[in-house]
Amino acid sequence: MKTIIVGGGKVGYNLFKTLTERGYDITLVEKEKETCLKIAEDFNTDVIWGDGSNLEVLKDAGIGEADIVAAVTGTDEENLIICQIAKLSFNTKKTIARVNNPKNTIMFKKLGIDDTVCSTEVIANLIEYSFDKEDYRIISVLERGSMVLSELAMKSGVSWINKEIKELTLPSECVLVSILRGETVIYPRGDTKILVNDKVVIITNKSVLAILTSELYDGGTVKWAGIKMRL
């Protein structure tokens, strides 16, 4: 998946650094020439010099192939315009806008921006979570990025299949919200059984999700100190 970051200030710089270190395909757009040169030198990579609200500049950055656009300039209006261009002109799957004035958050949401955030770490997590895996996907990021609402696919071979909820042993930081079975939403009780092709929706934190998905899909073995699933 390809991500475009517009804005090379402190937030954009650190976001670009974080995601580059994590190995993602990132392109940065910045309109100040000196800033571009510094970032290009620091990371030994190409940076697009230009106005991120300009269609031709975005095309040069490869927006046609981008799955995520994060507008993190210091101006809310500019971030809004960039995200709207990405959505309306290029059908970008996900747009993330930095909001400098919290009062603009509701307006951005109403105008179709997928996520509005302030913190570099939260933006990085939102982008990372958007790279959905075959076995699970992130539905939403909560509590400023510390918690995630996730959907786990119960494919053949997963250890939870044919078990009742009360048989599952998981950490207290994990709450089972619902089970999606076809078009039916099931609000689970202790004797609810998980079946093949169910989708289990949970709320947990990033660390627990990583361990849990490793256990379910990669054959990892995890001991949760005998704590039963919270309902």
Is CATH 3.40.50.300 correct for 136-217?
no
Cα–Cα nearest to 138, from 151, 154, 155, 127: 151
The two tokens of residue 107 are 């307006």
Q: Which residues lie across from 27 on neighbouring strands?
A: 4
Q: Map out the domains of the chain as residue ranges.
A: 2-129, 136-217
What is the spatial distance between Cα 30 and Cα 12, in angstroms, rounded to a whole number? 9
For 53, 180, 221, the CA distances from 164, given in Å and listed in that order, are: 52, 15, 20
**Residue type, position 185, single letter:** V
* Equal fold, 2-129 vs 136-217: no
DSSP string for residues in the chain: -EEEEE--SHHHHHHHHHHHHTT-EEEEEES-HHHHHHHHHHHTS--EES-TTSHHHHHHTTGGG-SEEEE--S-HHHHHHHHHHHHHHH--SEEEEE-SSGGGHHHHHHTT-SEEE--HHHHHHHHHHTS--SSEEEEEEEGGGTEEEEEEE--TT-TTTT-BGGG-B--TT-EEEEEEETTEEE---TTPBP-TT-EEEEEEEHHHHHHHHHHHHS------TTPBPB-
Note the pLDDT of residue 6.
96
CATH code of the region 2-129: 3.40.50.720
What is the spatial distance between Cα 5 and Cα 22, in angstroms, rounded to a whole number? 15
Contacts of 109 (CB under 8 A, 6+ apart): 116
Q: Tens-of-pLDDT digits for all 231 residues of the chain?
A: 789 999 999 888 988 988 888 888 899 999 999 999 999 999 888 799 999 999 999 999 999 999 999 999 989 999 999 999 999 999 998 999 988 777 787 888 888 888 877 655 566 666 666 655 567 887 777 655 568 888 899 988 888 999 999 998 887 888 899 999 988 999 988 899 999 999 999 998 878 888 888 888 876 444 444 333 333
Note the pLDDT of residue 200.
93
